[in-house]
Amino acid sequence: MSELPQGFHGRVTNVGVKDGSDDLTLIHSDAACAVAGVFTKSRFAGPSVTLSRQHIADGQARAMIVVSKNANVANGPQGAADAAEVAERIAALIGCDATDVLIASTGVIGRPYPMDKIRAGIDRLDPREPAANLDDVARGIMTTDTVRKTSSATIGAGPAFVAGVAKGVGMIEPDMATMIAMIMTDAEVTPSDLDKIFRRVVDRTFNCVSVDTDTSTSDTAVVMASGVAGEVDLTEFEVALTRVCTDLARQIAADGEGAETLIEVVVDEARDDQQARRVAKSIVNSPLVKTAVHGADPNWGRVAMAIGKCNDEDLDPDRIVIRFGESEVYPRRLAAGDLESLSSYLRGPEVVIHVSLAIADGQATVWGCDLTDGYVRINADYTT
């Protein structure tokens, strides 16, 4: 399903922020929407984040504009003024208050917006032109992404549905959000319910992604509800929203900069969900685990190391079980034939590491990727 939910329209264009690819993306609604969002906790958060936090406070919005390939971070008062001007120009374009416009930016830190190009690009946007579809919107927010990230799901038996796009491949260790995610639904949901549900969903999806442990200055995740399709069962809505956000989270991890393998880490039988996530993140973030997966080396000792460094007193090595896929690798001792089979498994496009802590019933699933020389090259050459 590539169309946007009822009540939403998209516009995508190139303004020349960095190159000839699309870099200005607008989502807007026919009328005011219920809206909720979560953002980075970075102390270096950019004005796109601070402005959107202010504009989202009343639970209502009409539009979201994304500028890609320039983060507009660490640019002082001028950066704040430029972000505010972009919101004002979008408001004038679609006929709403500037406070009903959200903004997100992604790209290089410390470079001012090329405002002459952005002004001209916004002036060229025509709300009467054929609308962009979900694929177009996803393409417009890409930076070093290699694929467009889209997902959609029907709410219950329909006709209401949820659709979303995301971008992000590096500088990814979300803290209350992810890089940039825009989720839309035509379901009728109050701002209060939307906020509570979205925070729960983000916490178990986007907050469970890590590529390189670095938290972005611009992380933004927003959901907008037009209400055109009418009321829905909130449990069914949360199920559909979770499905979309989980799918997008997995796509982000799989497209990590230079990545060749998606790593899913499942930790269960933990003291609580928080411990499970902490242990899972320790595993998926370990450079030694990442490189072992990349090299198809079934070195379960690196997983044991990552568990052990969490240093929780109730982690008992004599009770913990480690598996690669369905194969137990600890405490069971591997034979030579097992190693060859496991190495073949690790060469696949997706690897599951499953750890049972034998404490209680806490559990968590997180996603990451292997660490390749491609990651080093992409980030070594990023601004040049």
CA distances from 156 to 35, 187, 225, 240, 377 (A): 21, 11, 16, 8, 45
* Separation of alpha carbons 9 and 276, rounded Å: 40
Which residue shows structure tokens 């903004």?
103
Residue among 178, 217, 242, 365 flagged as catalytic: 178
What are the DSSP E strand ranges found in 213-349? 220-231, 262-270, 321-324, 327-330
Find out whether 258 and 374 touch, Cβ atoms under 8 Å.
yes
| Backbone dihedral angles phi then psi of residue 146, each to the nearest 5 degrees | -100, -15
Chain center to CA of 304? 28
Q: Confirm if 261 and 349 have CB atoms less than 8 A apart.
A: yes
Any residues with CB less than 8 A from the CB of 76 and at least 6 apart, and which?
Answer: none
Separation CA 230–CA 373 (nearest Å) = 50
Q: Is 235 one of the annotated active-site residues of the chain?
A: no
Structure tokens at 308: 């052990």
Catalytic residues: 178
